[in-house]
Structure 1
Amino acid sequence: MKIMVIARLFSGLNTLLESGHWEHAGSPAYYHFIRGLDAETSWDYTLCFLLPHPYTGFECKRSLNITNLRSSALIVPYYSLPFSSSFTLIKKAEYFYNKLSQYIAVLPSLIGSNCFYIDRENLLLGAFLLPFKKKIAVRLLGVTESVYLNVTQKRNIYSSLLRYVFTHRNSLFICTRDGSFSDQMGAWLSWKRFYIFFNGIDIERIERNKRREDRPFTIVSVSRLEKNKGQSQLLQAAKHSGVKNIRIILIGEGVERRKLESLAKELELEDRTIFTGKLIHNNAIKYLEEADLVVSLNCNGVFGNNVLEAAQVGLPVIALEHPGCQDENQKYFCMIPRKETTEKTAHAIYRFVKDPDFARHYGEKSQNFSKQQLISWKHRIEKEFVLLDEFYNEKKAE
């Protein structure tokens, strides 16, 4: 059996293009899936990565040899349109222009392949493949509000194409249980060909007994530095908490870094805020192991990888409520409402610092969540491969 993987990789992309080496430098889901696929010698596979932005050295379609995988990767470029950074309408036109041009570029590679594995960013590609009796497995890193509403409520060309993909018998969905609209989407589909899992965890579980008192109270946030990830609210909350003996570590890189550095200076937190930049996974985990609290004010979902990894090392977690999340596992974390986010987070930080029993209570809740819900990436990928094997080998629907 031969599988064609088509994905638009955001995290870890620079590392791959610069080194030609498949490393755990971004999305763990893709890292572990492709490593597992590479080890499954009974399956042949090809890789096709669609660039999400212009990248020097990849101005035209080309093959990239990946030194530690059996397969090379076809890299398809992204082209900017003039003035797209200044005008929203041109930016939208650029997005759809690249969707179309990238799909046209990969068409020759699609011939002869019947089994496809695509990501959420390429759902529209599924609408083009399904009429040709292709089998499409889709990895959903959660379900955004836009996707959910388009599939379940809206009536336009785009929503019709998405609904066609989600309801087709030759589609299978493997969704990350990220605390977004995932459960609602699964329920709308009556859980037909829609499977939902927490991401795996491969770090050692640590049970903490008490906080270290020989250093400042350390708050860690692990995420790309983007507006919807909540780092600005974290900095403002830290200031409003009134606590002086704290240290804030922001792990990650992104377009908001300069603004966040300016904000830290404006709030007089620059001497207490560390911007680590992008780190390989093992180095990021070292910061987690030394932390006292993880704060995740991510607008996209409750159960990001940083929350799961914090629970695995026994850390209390502050997380942001999500309007689509109905998951009872929220009870294990200190949840912050969408309204008055900064004020509520400031109050929670103050209490975690000043009340050791409160912090210990939520640390124990994190540990309980980890023990009851989390499994290794090896077992997580094994479950996925069982589903894929059954799906790809069953008779295709007409």
Structure 2
Amino acid sequence: MKVLYVARLFSGLELSVASKIWQPTGVPTIYRLIEALAQQPDQVSVILCAKDGHTVLPDLEDSCVKLEGLNCPVKLLAAKPTATGPITRAFREMRHTFAIIRAVRRSKPTLIYIDHGNVWAAGVLARFLRVPVLFRVMGVYPAMRNALVSGKFANKVLRWCYKSPFAGVICTQDGSGVELWLRRALHPRTPVHILLNGVDEAKENNDFHPEITKISRNAIVVTFVGKLEEAKGIEEFSAAFLTAVRKNQNLHGLIIGSGSLEGKIKDQFDEAGLSSYVTFLKRLPHSQVHSALSRSDIYISLNRYGNLSNANLEAMRVGVAMIMPEAQEEIGVDLATDELIPSEYVVRVKSSNDLLGIEKSILDLASDKERRQLMAAGIKKIAGAKLDSWKKRINCEIEILEKISNSDR
């Protein structure tokens, strides 16, 4: 099997490219699969395509780089043209597509693995080349749903791409309603594999960040992990927690993540005179995320697009009482989450906007240690039974790639 691996240049990979040292953060299904494939010489070559919003590498040029710690070639495609607008994006995608086709002709892979960030190229490759194409979907977002019904030309192109004769589609089960979207978007004969992300092996870990060690041992820690963006519900977390902590000053907030709303959220705590009741950490090494979760008493996830994220799966594995929104049945969001986590092991609020429900759930759990412990033990047991290790999860994906690569089309 010889794989050409094509993905967008995720922010979690930018620092590795900038430093020329392979130290990825985030996107674990991306970097773990690349690492696994790269263990065998000449099994994989990688193309990373820059799109919009790159701050670490704003002046990136097309180039080939060698990353210390990664045993495979990496080609970078710059986000050019750099101007904004649909016409500019169309030219950029066409340029990337032609560059990928040239790479296919040079490297002669037995399989092309390409993500949704390069969906135009994926559609062209699947329709016009003889090499099997595996299309990778990380989850479903509103723009992807809108593309199935919008009359705009760009969305008609997307629908044409989605219906391409892919050799297979692998989709992350993140609770975003992937099943319904896949049925509507893809050609009915396209083989589909929906996979939960993995979790790290359970280990006792006392590698606490210094700021976490400063939190009072008697405090009830209420944790949020994720990007500080509107879609993740950080504003609702902040508002509900601020109200709750005024009623129970034994609470302490722990917010792990960064984003465009970071300054606004910090200002809200400062203006309320409650900044001593919250700890902000922009990022943590993976080992310290685990220890932070183990210090947490209540974990809140308010993601509007699905609540089976990597951070949530890790919280399940560690075992923390959880609060999250009810499923959005009309679009399928979190139906899979409800199926995975029984109602007795999670507190569900009406929606990510249900401030009163979030506040009440925090206060109720804070006052009932026994219930928190029962929920934590229950959800940890579910994780042990239903979540695979990352090694097993990645091996499963490699088996799918090998089957496609070795099959006659």
Same fold (TM over 0.5): yes
SS at match of 2:147: helix
Closer, same or farther: CA 117–129 of 1 in aligned 2, 3 Å: same
What amino acid sits opposite 1:202 in the alignment? D
CA contact (8 A) 1:144 1:181 kept: no
Regions of 4+ moved over 6 Å: none
Offset of residue 313 of structure 1: 0.5
Offset of residue 11 of structure 1: 3.9
Q: d(CA) in 1 for partners of 2:225 and 2:161?
A: 33
Aligned counterpart, 1:392: 405
What amino acid sits opposite 1:353 in the alignment? A
Equivalence map 1:45-194=2 (5 Å): 45-52=44-51, 53-54=53-54, 55-56=56-57, 58-78=59-79, 90=84, 92=86, 95-112=89-106, 113-114=108-109, 115-133=111-129, 134-151=131-148, 153-154=149-150, 157-188=153-184, 192-194=190-192
1:224 corresponds, among 218, 227, 230, to 227
Closer, same or farther: CA 335–98 of 1 in aligned 2, 3 Å: farther
Offset of residue 69 of structure 1: 1.6
Q: d(CA) in 2 for partners of 1:111 and 1:355?
A: 63
What amino acid sits opposite 1:262 in the alignment? D
Residues 10-19 or 66-75, more deviating: 10-19
What TM-score, normalized to structure 1?
0.87
Q: d(CA) in 1 for partners of 2:13 and 2:300?
A: 25
CA contact (8 A) 1:23 1:31 kept: no
Aligned length: 382
Q: d(CA) in 2 for partners of 1:344 and 1:180?
A: 22
CA contact (8 A) 1:180 1:322 kept: no
Superposed CA deviations along residues 103-155 of structure 1, whole A, max 9, x for unmatched, are: 3444432324452111122222112212223322122111223324534x455
Q: Is it true that 1:363 corresponds to 2:361 in the alignment?
A: no
Equivalence map 1:337-352=2 (5 Å): 337-338=350-351, 340-352=353-365
Closer, same or farther: CA 168–289 of 1 in aligned 2, 3 Å: same
Offset of residue 169 of structure 1: 3.4
Runs (5+) with no aligned partner, structure 1: 83-89, 207-211
Q: d(CA) in 1 for partners of 2:222 and 2:88?
A: 39
Runs (5+) with no aligned partner, structure 2: 205-214
Residues 29-38 or 106-115, more deviating: 106-115
Aligned counterpart, 1:196: 194
CA contact (8 A) 1:292 1:315 kept: yes
What amino acid sits opposite 2:142 in the alignment? E
Q: d(CA) in 1 for partners of 2:352 and 2:166?
A: 41
What TM-score, normalized to structure 2?
0.84
SS at match of 2:199: coil
Offset of residue 96 of structure 1: 4.1
Q: d(CA) in 2 for partners of 1:121 and 1:320?
A: 28
What amino acid sits opposite 1:109 in the alignment? A
SS at match of 1:218: strand
Closer, same or farther: CA 296–11 of 1 in aligned 2, 3 Å: farther
Q: d(CA) in 1 for partners of 2:80 and 2:299?
A: 37
Superposed CA deviations along residues 293-343 of structure 1, whole A, max 9, x for unmatched, are: 211111121101111000101111112345223221243432222274222
Offset of residue 183 of structure 1: 2.1
SS at match of 1:195: strand
Aligned counterpart, 1:86: none
Q: d(CA) in 1 for partners of 2:354 and 2:268?
A: 17
CA contact (8 A) 2:319 2:379 kept: yes
CA contact (8 A) 2:236 2:352 kept: no
Offset of residue 37 of structure 1: 0.9
Offset of residue 74 of structure 1: 1.2
Q: d(CA) in 1 for partners of 2:241 and 2:287?
A: 27
Closer, same or farther: CA 165–388 of 1 in aligned 2, 3 Å: farther
Closer, same or farther: CA 92–288 of 1 in aligned 2, 3 Å: farther
Aligned counterpart, 2:211: none
Offset of residue 24 of structure 1: 4.4
CA RMSD for the aligned pairs? 2.6
Q: d(CA) in 2 for partners of 1:349 and 1:79?
A: 47
Equivalence map 1:264-343=2 (5 Å): 264-323=269-328, 324-325=332-333, 326-327=335-336, 328-331=339-342, 332-338=345-351, 340-343=353-356
What amino acid sits opposite 1:21 in the alignment? I
Q: d(CA) in 1 for partners of 2:132 and 2:33?
A: 18
Q: d(CA) in 2 for partners of 1:191 and 1:270?
A: 55
Q: d(CA) in 1 for partners of 2:259 and 2:121?
A: 28
Q: Is it true that 1:239 corresponds to 2:242 in the alignment?
A: yes
